[in-house]
Amino acid sequence: MRDVLAEAAFALFLERGFERTTVDDIVSRAGVGRRSFFRYFPSKEDAVFPDHERCLADMTAFLEAAGDAEPVDAVCDAARIVLRMYAANPEFSVQRYRLTREVPGLRTYELSVVRRYERTLAGYLERRCDGARDGALRAEVIAASVVAAHNNALRSWLRSGGEGDAEAAVDHALGIVRETWGSGAGRPPAVPAADGEVIVMVAAKGAPMWRVVQQIESALGER
């Protein structure tokens, strides 16, 4: 029944637009009572995102099971759960994206959903950084970075009409975040016992941090 309603709603939204479709239109197409609509969806907007609630639960469960994995890696992997939900139905996702772009009410609704993902990630990071200096701050900033990177890649995939490899695009975007916030987010693990190998780096004074990191990483990669 939930599915019937969501399908009827989405079809009508595509035909006449979101705002020019009333709840009465939806329930009459679905052949159910008006009251039932609000039993399954607290608002008209919810019918456009019928699967986010479950996805959020998946993400929460994933992070609870994440154990002692590297925290930034864990939240990046958690973000990929969302991507996979979109990628599972490319046509639907693309149509919904176009709809959302045009309807301010849906944009706002989507923001509130994204915020919940972000809070979930930040909460996990905060737990993992418990007690570290600026733990909560770092957790929120990293979560925001992960979400922004994920959404940037996701949206450009959606804008392209669902062509190309969404996973690869998101991997690349998240790669930048991981490079930057690396494995030191939160409780910095003790520097692992080196096997004697060291890096010697020479950089000009005033060189931007970002370049420094890149140079170190490429040096590590070339070995």
Partner DNA sequence: AGAGATTATGGCACTCAGTACCCTCTGTAA
Partner DNA sequence: TTACAGAGGGTACTGAGTGCCATAATCTCT
DSSP one-letter code for 184 = G
For residues 117 and 3, what is the distance between their CA atoms, to the nearest angstrom? 23
- Three-state DSSP class for 186? coil
DSSP string, 8-52: HHHHHHHHH-STT--HHHHHHHHTS-HHHHHHH-SSTGGGG-TTH
For 137, counting Cβ atoms within 10 Å of its Cβ (0-12 exposed, 13-18 middle, 19+ buried), the class is exposed
- Min separation Cβ 78 and DNA, Å: 29
* Triad 74, 157, 103: Cα angle to 5°: 105
Shortest Å, Cβ 72 to a second copy: 9
Residues 22-41 that bind DNA (CB under 7 A): 22-24, 31-36, 38-39
Q: Which does 35 bind (CB under 5 to 8 A by kind): DNA, a second copy, none?
A: DNA
Using CB distances below 5 to 8 A depending on partner kind, what does residue 140 bind out of a second copy, DNA, none? a second copy
Distance CA 10, CA 86 (A): 16
**CA 150 and chain centroid, separation:** 5
Interaction between residue 112 and DNA (CB under 7 A): no
Cα-atom radius of gyration of the chain, to the nearest Å? Answer: 22
Taking CB within 5 to 8 Å according to partner kind, which of DNA, a second copy, none is near residue 17?
Answer: none
| 27 or 142: CB nearest a second copy | 142
Q: How many residues bind a second copy (CB under 8 A)?
A: 60
Which region, judged by CB under 8 A, interacts with a second copy, from 46-54, 91-99, 133-141, 157-165? Answer: 133-141
- Of the two residues 28 and 180, which places its CB atom closer to DNA in the complex? 28
Determine the interface stretch with a second copy among 25-33, 49-57, 83-91, 107-115 (rule: CB under 8 A).
107-115
Contact 163, 127 (CB under 8 A): no
Q: Which residues of this chain interact with DNA, rule CB under 7 A?
A: 1, 21-24, 31-36, 38-39, 42-45
Per CB under 8 A, residues contacting a second copy are 107-109, 111-112, 115, 134, 136-138, 140-141, 143-145, 147-149, 151-153, 172-173, 176-177, 179-185, 188-189, 191-195, 197-214, 216-217, 220
